[in-house]
Amino acid sequence: QQKVQQSPESLIVPEGGMASLNCTSSDRNVDYFWWYRQHSGKSPKMLMSIFSNGEKEEGRFTVHLNKASLHTSLHIRDSQPSDSALYLCAASMAGGYKVVFGSGTRLLVSP
């Protein structure tokens, strides 16, 4: 079983809508979470990081973290077609700098 699970596997939202993506770790050794975005044929690029309980906002993107449940979520408001991509959740494991990724959520923003 993957240590980092993401849901949903795929998501379609209309342009201007809100996209909500979820990620949970089954390993309590997680220290930090990141969200990456990967456009088709490109490499993953780090989008946002969150290390503390609560919420962090950067422009149209908001991440939440609940450390007790090891759950993080990414919310994209006013979604644009350029947001269409694979969104990967990553977690670093304590004691070794190991970074593991979920299998991703494929977001399609329809014009």
Partner 1 sequence: DMKVTQMPRYLIKRMGENVLLECGQDMSHETMYWYRQDPGLGLQLIYISYDVDSNSEGDIPKGYRVSRKKREHFSLILDSAKTNQTSVYFCASSLGGNNQAPLFGEGTRLSVL
Residues lying near partner 1 in the complex (CB under 8 A) are found at 2, 4, 6, 31-32, 34, 42-46, 49, 51, 88, 90, 92-94, 96-104
Q: How far is the CB of 104 from partner 1 (least distance, A)?
A: 5
Which residues touch 105 (CB under 8 Å, ≥6 apart)? 6, 7, 8, 9, 10, 11, 21, 22, 86, 87
Of 38 and 77, CB closest to partner 1:
38
Of 9 and 111, CB closest to partner 1:
9
Structure tokens at 43: 């490499």
Separation CA 101–CA 111 (nearest Å) = 29
Q: How far is the CB of 43 from partner 1 (least distance, A)?
A: 4
For 70, the enclosing helix (H) or strand (E) is none
Of 82 and 97, CB closest to partner 1:
97
